[in-house]
Structure 1
Amino acid sequence: MNKFIEQALHAAGDFSRLKQVKQTFGGSINESFFVETNERKYFIKYHTDAPDRFFELEAKGLRLIRETNSVSVPEVLAYSDEKNNAFLVMDWVEGRKSQDTEAKLGDRIAKMHQTFGNQHGFPDDTFIGVLPQPNGLFLSWLEYYRDSRLSAQMTQGIEQNSITGNRRLRMEKLLLNLEKWIPDDVEPSYLHGDLWGGNWLVGAGGNPYVVDPSFLYGDRHFELAFTELFGGYSGDFYQAYVERFPLRDDYDDIKDLYQLYYLLVHLNIFGESYGPRVDAILKRYVGVY
């Protein structure tokens, strides 16, 4: 493994002596390491069978977030998507949470959401976990969310038999009537795209950072709904967010529909334990059969 680490460090321009390598934990997709050399400290992710452009797209998402001058991201120093040797090298981020860390995070995510693209979606197909995530650029948020997000996960679920029977019928009915709830004319905010509680961390001085994006342009309420799905964000986060960028009046009406996408992803990756939550949302909006 040290040979691989050295190759990654050389790609980042560091040829100094390797002092320490320690495996870290927290993700289920990549192997990850804390690495220290005579020059600096690094976080290196490694994937033995990464899909094409896997780390390139992660690096691109981090760069786009950095360009908003809002929430901090680690600096990407090198990456490779070479078969059997895919890696991403970033600065090591470490710090202790301060009293205002989560308020800063909420304010800075809101600031990121106040940066807008010209269309919804993303020009490149990306990944959510290791699931392919088809994209494309759309003038209509409704069309993008229906066709590239919900429909794509439904197709995946049908293929692997996680969406069948009444669940499939309800999904089909929901997609036919989605314009009743999902807005069409919202501005396309810069979105992290995978902002669960494990994808933010604390750096020096209590400064919050976000990591592991699955970047897109879209309705910011889609992102906020996901932050509420599995927890990991405090009241300070939400209070600071709405002080900078108040929510639309329809947020409570559409929150479950935005969480549905991520529940479908988890259903397709992890299995039927997420099925009852998917079914409950479908029943809320389209009734029972």
Structure 2
Amino acid sequence: MKELISKALSNARDYSEIRDFHSVSGGSINQSYFVKSEENQYFLKYHPNPPQNFFEIEKQGLELIRKTKTIRVPEIHAYSDHQEEAYLLLEWIDGESNSQTGALLGQQIAKLHENLGEGHGYSSQTFIGTLPQKNKLFNSWKNYYCDYRLKSQLELGIEKGRIQGKRLKNLNKLMNRVDEFIPNNIKPSYLHGDLWGGNWLAGQKGYPYVIDPSFLFGDRHFDVAFTELFGGFPSTFYEAYQEVSPLEHYYEDVKELYQLFYLLVHLNIFGESYGGSVDRVLDYYVG
């Protein structure tokens, strides 16, 4: 690992000595390390056998968010997608939340969502976790969400034997009825795409940062719905978001429909422990 870290630092034009490195918590997909050189401190994500362009896609998402100048993301120092030495070297973020952090996070995510793309989806394959997410740009959000989000997880679930029987019947039924719940003329907002409580953190003076995006353009309520699925966001986040960009009247109609995508992802990655939650949502809409 020290050899890989040295190579990463060299690619970041940091030629100083490594003072310290040790593993840290950072999710279940990558190995994560704190790295300290004579010049700087870093966060290194390493994957021994990543999918093609895995860290390149994450880098693209971070850069797109950064360019909006709405919410902070870690600085990207270097990356590689070469097999057996794939890594992403980022700025080390070190701070604590304060009384203003939640509100700032809500305001800044709302401002991020004010930025618009030319269509819904994305121009190339991305990843949700390690699962590939096929993409292209659609004029219609509801068509993209049904054909490229729900359908992709349905197909994977059939392949894994996790979507069958009543679950398969209900999911197909719901996909045929998305017009009843998702309105037309939704704007293609810039979305983080994987906005759960583990993908934001506080830096110096409590300023919020977002990390690990699965970037796409789409309905801003898709991001907001995921924040409510597993928690991790204070009430001040929602209050501040609403002040900047009030949620549309249809949000409660689509919230669980949008959460369904992430529950299907978890079902396909982690197994039947998420099956009951998937079935509950399907029963709510079509049962």
Superposition TM-score, scaled by structure 1 size: 0.98
Matches within 5 A, 1:1-289: 1-287=1-287
CA distance in 2, matches of 1:75, 1:85: 20
CA distance in 2, matches of 1:144, 1:184: 12
Output one character per residue of 1:122-144: Cα deviation in whole Å (capped at 9) or x when no partner.
00111110011111100000110
- Counterpart secondary structure, 2:241: helix
Output one character per residue of 1:113-170: Cα deviation in whole Å (capped at 9) or x when no partner.
0111110000011111001111110000011000000000000000000000000000
Alignment coverage as a number of residue pairs: 287
Deviation at residue 253 of structure 1 after TM alignment = 1.0
CA distance in 2, matches of 1:157, 1:26: 27
Deviation at residue 96 of structure 1 after TM alignment = 1.5
CA distance in 2, matches of 1:69, 1:98: 22
Which amino acid in the other structure matches residue 272 of structure 1? E
Deviation at residue 275 of structure 1 after TM alignment = 0.6
- Counterpart secondary structure, 2:26: coil
CA distance in 1, matches of 2:26, 2:139: 37
CA distance in 2, matches of 1:94, 1:183: 41
Question: What runs of 5+ residues in structure 1 fail to find an aligned partner?
Answer: none
4+ long deviations beyond 6 Å:
none
- Counterpart secondary structure, 1:73: coil
CA distance in 2, matches of 1:25, 1:120: 33
Which amino acid in the other structure matches residue 123 of structure 1? S
Deviation at residue 26 of structure 1 after TM alignment = 3.1
| Root-mean-square deviation (Å) | 0.6
**Identical amino acids, percent of aligned pairs:** 53
Output one character per residue of 1:188-245: Cα deviation in whole Å (capped at 9) or x when no partner.
0000000000000111111100000000000000110000000000100000000000
- Counterpart secondary structure, 1:89: strand
CA distance in 2, matches of 1:52, 1:39: 31
CA distance in 2, matches of 1:208, 1:37: 25
Superposition TM-score, scaled by structure 2 size: 0.99
Deviation at residue 180 of structure 1 after TM alignment = 0.6
CA distance in 2, matches of 1:96, 1:154: 40
CA distance in 1, matches of 2:28, 2:239: 31
